[in-house]
């Protein structure tokens, strides 16, 4: 065992625990060797500057000099593998490097009671360390703000994790049977991708996907969850003893925690409204870069945002009418009209979330692909989608409708989870951006524009939409724009227009009608080559004739 720091006998030892075995895990990517030394000791101590340390002493036979490794407690993470077994990991202090897994020890206590007291003591010392000022050691800061903290407003994060810490919200997702059932099928049907593999569940919530992965034969699953739900996940997993031995719940953000080994496959459900809301895709990508082996798999693998213009006079009137309240000239003697314009714009800045009839679409949809295996985290800060449609009917255009799907590119059965209109409704429904200035198009007329989404620090996006109708009929060859309409929307503040629990669904006897085959719906995974997936197809899918 190599010693990080030789510690002499006069150190202030607080408490120590005898170990029946201690293994120094060699975690560099070229070697997977472990050297086992029996017995050993782990102890809480302080270095000469009084800084709390976790020290490992290997050997321990009478009179012999023991190798000692001292790790600064602020750098150490501990994972309990079983009643008497744990892994201690320590990252680098050097901020110029990535936070690598520089040291790892697998330790086995003599008794469960020792293990329990050790973990209690660790919590206490870790707490003490957290209360200390960030300090400089070897010219580097010992604590740092994670990527998550740097870009996300603390109050937004607090509310976000509070929300996910509640069972009722996890239940809402679990009761979306389209969602959970598709995940279950994707995992179980692709058992070959999980069997004997190390899995990381990114944002594990209740732990359901970790349990699915373990059912599919995963060798070990690390379930990373930042909210208080991690404690419930532990409970749920412990209550499923045939699987629990192979699952370790780690409470913390994927941007911050350390794991004892790399993953062969990541599983996650990071999709928000319009795919990108909540900005959790960025955490999924960070987890990929931190934990996934080269060529590792990701479930889901790819996501697509679908966009199409729609016509819905009822919806438009409903929104415009809400602002009528502010047109009263004498509300208890007060003229409200000075605020009418602001209220009108305010209502139109809310994207509408509901399930709509796909017959409201004015043109076949197009889609934008996000390949989770390749996209850079920074690419998700701004999503820019150029729009181009050909109107299939003469109609008034009130805005754009959006939905998404994701592909689990399993090696046995690729599977899609879709949130398309007309498909079985999910808890994501669909999303529509309604323009305060609608415009008319004729059948065959081209509609162009841009959907530009810019991430903000409240875990969502500001959406800028521009739609233009190009010249149509004689003289259109020369090009030119007839009219343009723009809108600005806050994805964080949607208008949930859900009246029926199930929303709109195409009646079963009409599901074969071409109008009910929006692109994406009628695409079977087996029909899609991966190369096709990465080239956005234009206007394929719907037969509007």
Ligand X SMILES: C[S@@+](CC[C@H](N)C(=O)[O-])C[C@H]1O[C@@H](n2cnc3c(N)ncnc32)[C@H](O)[C@@H]1O
CB burial class (10 A; 0-12, 13-18, 19+) of residue 294? exposed
Catalytic residue among 278, 282, 377, 446: 278
Q: Identify the helix (H) or strand (E) that includes residue 463.
A: strand 460-470
Instruction: Summarize the chain as % helix, strand, coil (round to 5).
Output: 30, 35, 35
Specify the stretch interacting with ligand X by CB under 6 A; choose among 247-255, 362-370, 418-426, 529-537: 247-255
Q: Sketch the per residue contact string, 133 through 152, with ligand X: x for CB under 6 A, - otherwise.
A: ---------------x----
Binds ligand X (CB under 6 A): choice among 69, 90, 125, 255: 255
- Enumerate residues 6+ apart whose C-beta is below 8 A from 67: 1, 2, 3, 57, 58, 59
Q: Is 205 in the site for ligand X (CB under 6 A)?
A: yes
517: DSSP letter = -
DSSP-based three-state secondary structure for 88: strand
Alpha helix locations (H) across 338-455? 340-348
Q: Is 266 in the site for ligand X (CB under 6 A)?
A: no
Tell which residue, 172, 45, 39, 159, has the closest CA to residue 108.
39
At closest approach, how far in Å is the CB of 112 from ligand X?
29
C-alpha–C-alpha distance, residues 2 and 68, integer Å: 8
At closest approach, how far in Å is the CB of 252 from ligand X?
7
Residue 68's φ and ψ, nearest 5 degrees, are: -125, 130
At closest approach, how far in Å is the CB of 251 from ligand X?
9
Nearer to ligand X, 212 or 344 (CB): 212
At closest approach, how far in Å is the CB of 311 from ligand X?
32
Q: Is 76 in the site for ligand X (CB under 6 A)?
A: no
Nearest-CB residue for ligand X: 203
At closest approach, how far in Å is the CB of 163 from ligand X?
8
At closest approach, how far in Å is the CB of 209 from ligand X?
5
Q: Is 495 in the site for ligand X (CB under 6 A)?
A: no
Active site includes 258? no
| CB 308, CB 362: distance < 8 Å | yes
C-alpha–C-alpha distance, residues 48 and 52, integer Å: 10
C-alpha–C-alpha distance, residues 389 and 366, integer Å: 8
| Binding residue count for ligand X, defined by CB under 6 A | 21
Catalytic residue among 269, 282, 377, 446: 269
What is the 3 state secondary structure string of 177-233?
A: HHHHHHHHHHHHHCHHHHCCCEEEEECCCCCHHHHHHHHCCCCEEEEEECCCHHHHH
Interacting residues with ligand X between 163 and 182 (CB under 6 A): 164, 173
Nearer to ligand X, 205 or 300 (CB): 205
Q: Is 208 in the site for ligand X (CB under 6 A)?
A: yes
Q: Is 247 in the site for ligand X (CB under 6 A)?
A: no
Q: Is 273 in the site for ligand X (CB under 6 A)?
A: no
Nearest-5° Cα angle at 89, 106 to 124: 100
Q: Is 276 in the site for ligand X (CB under 6 A)?
A: no
Specify the stretch interacting with ligand X by CB under 6 A; choose among 124-132, 198-206, 373-381, 416-424: 198-206
Q: Is 426 in the site for ligand X (CB under 6 A)?
A: no
Whether omega before 39 lies within 30 degrees of 0, making that bond cis, reads yes
Specify the stretch interacting with ligand X by CB under 6 A; choose among 225-233, 423-431, 478-486, 502-510: 225-233
Q: Is 429 in the site for ligand X (CB under 6 A)?
A: no
At closest approach, how far in Å is the CB of 287 from ligand X?
8
At closest approach, how far in Å is the CB of 457 from ligand X?
14
Specify the stretch interacting with ligand X by CB under 6 A; choose among 82-90, 200-208, 481-489, 527-535: 200-208
C-alpha–C-alpha distance, residues 183 and 206, integer Å: 14
Q: Cite the active site residues.
A: 269, 278
Binding site for ligand X (CB under 6 A): 148, 161, 164, 173, 203-206, 208-209, 224-227, 229, 253-255, 269, 280, 283
């Amino acid at each position: 065992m190599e010693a990080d720091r030789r510690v002499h006998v006069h150190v202030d030892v607080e408490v120590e625990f005898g170990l029946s075995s201690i293994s120094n895990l060699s975690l560099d990517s070229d070697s997977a060797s472990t050297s086992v030394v029996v017995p050993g000791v782990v102890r809480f101590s302080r270095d000469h500057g009084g800084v709390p340390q976790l020290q490992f002493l290997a050997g321990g036979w009478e009179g012999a000099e023991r190798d000692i490794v001292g790790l600064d407690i602020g750098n150490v993470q501990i994972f309990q593998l079983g009643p008497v077994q744990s892994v201690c990991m320590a990252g680098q202090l050097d901020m110029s490097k990535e936070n690598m897994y520089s040291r790892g020890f697998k330790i086995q206590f003599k008794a469960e009671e020792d293990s329990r007291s050790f973990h209690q003591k660790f919590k206490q010392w870790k707490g003490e360390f957290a209360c200390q000022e960030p300090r400089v050691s070897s010219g580097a800061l010992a604590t740092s703000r994670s990527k998550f903290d740097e870009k996300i407003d603390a109050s937004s994060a607090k509310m976000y994790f509070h929300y996910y810490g509640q069972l009722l919200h996890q239940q809402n997702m679990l009761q979306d049977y389209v969602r959970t059932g598709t995940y279950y099928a994707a995992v179980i049907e692709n058992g070959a991708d999980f069997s004997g593999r190390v899995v990381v569940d990114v944002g594990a919530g209740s732990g359901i996907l970790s349990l699915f992965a373990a059912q599919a034969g995963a060798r070990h699953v690390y379930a990373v969850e930042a909210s208080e739900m991690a404690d419930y996940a532990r409970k749920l997993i412990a209550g499923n003893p045939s699987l629990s031995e192979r699952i370790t719940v780690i409470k913390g953000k994927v941007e911050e925690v350390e794991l004892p080994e790399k993953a062969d496959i990541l599983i996650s459900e990071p999709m928000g409204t319009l795919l990108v809301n909540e900005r959790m895709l960025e955490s999924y990508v960070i987890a990929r870069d931190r934990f996934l082996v080269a060529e590792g798999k990701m479930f889901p693998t790819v996501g697509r945002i679908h966009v199409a213009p729609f016509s819905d006079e009822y919806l438009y009137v409903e929104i415009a009418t809400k602002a009528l309240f502010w047109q009263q000239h004498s509300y208890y003697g007060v003229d409200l009209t000075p605020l009418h314009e602001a209220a009108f714009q305010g209502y139109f800045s809310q994207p509408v979330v509901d399930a709509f009839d796909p017959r409201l679409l004015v043109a076949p949809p197009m889609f934008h692909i996000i390949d989770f295996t390749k996209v850079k985290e920074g690419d998700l800060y701004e999503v820019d989608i150029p729009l181009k449609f050909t109107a299939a009917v003469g109609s008034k255009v009130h805005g754009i409708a959006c939905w998404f799907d994701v592909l689990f590119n399993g090696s046995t059965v690729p599977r899609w989870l879709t949130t398309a209109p007309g498909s079985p409704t999910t808890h994501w429904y669909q999303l529509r951006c309604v323009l305060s200035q609608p415009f008319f198009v004729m059948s065959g007329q081209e509609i162009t524009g841009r959907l530009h989404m810019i991430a903000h620090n409240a875990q969502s996006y500001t959406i800028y939409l521009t739609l233009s109708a190009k010249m149509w009929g004689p003289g259109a060859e020369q090009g030119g724009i007839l009219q343009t309409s723009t809108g600005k929307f806050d994805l964080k503040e949607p208008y949930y227009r859900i009246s029926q629990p199930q929303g709109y669904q195409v009646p079963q006897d009409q599901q074969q009608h071409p109008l009910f085959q929006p692109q994406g719906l009628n695409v079977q995974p087996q029909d899609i080559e991966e190369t096709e997936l990465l080239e956005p197809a234009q206007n394929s899918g719907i037969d509007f004739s």
